[in-house]
Amino acid sequence: MENTSDNGARRRRGLHWGWWLAIAFAAFLLACAAMLFGIFSLMRNSDAYRTAVVALNADAGVEKAIGHPISTGWATGNIHTVNAEGDAQLRFDVDGPRGKGHVSVSLLRHSGEWRVEEGQLVVEGTRESIAFGPESGDDR
């Protein structure tokens, strides 16, 4: 005759492994989400991103196209720095009272200061593309 209490204990142990596996998977997903949020937050709080947003806000063509104030979305791209030198390529969405758009911008860092090399706003729903930065003709 089999001992039914041993079978019940084995079954309960099997259920515990299932719960632990589900908890471990949920913890893994949470850790991945936290890491992505941290990376995007670091990008958005970078000096390169802030420099790009200042240049965007200072451009008369951008103001005419989407208006002010401008709110920005999460930035993607890359930032490379070595000591006081570096470069960055960023992309982010913008939203203003008159429209929305997508920004791509290249920046260089010399002696610790970021400078927009080339920036472009593509206005959503149109084929309009607005350059900002040194090539746009503004004196910055």
For 60-73, the DSSP string reads HHHHHHH-SS-EE-
Numbers of helices and strands, H then E, in the chain: 3, 6
pLDDT of residue 139: 41
What does DSSP say about strands 76-82 and 85-96: parallel, antiparallel, or unpaired?
antiparallel
User: Is pTM, for the whole model, over 0.75?
Assistant: no
What pLDDT does 55 receive? 92
pLDDT of residue 39: 67
Positions of the chain with pLDDT under 50: 138-140
pLDDT given at position 123: 93
- 101 near 65, Cβ under 8 Å? yes
Which pLDDT belongs to residue 140?
37
Give backbone dihedrals phi and psi of 13, rounded to 5 degrees, phi first.
-65, -40
pLDDT at 115: 95
What is d(CA 112, CA 94) in angstroms, rounded to the nearest whole number? 26
| CA-to-CA dists, residue 140 to 4, 30, 63, 136, angstroms | 83, 43, 16, 10
Residue 20, both tokens: 């632990």
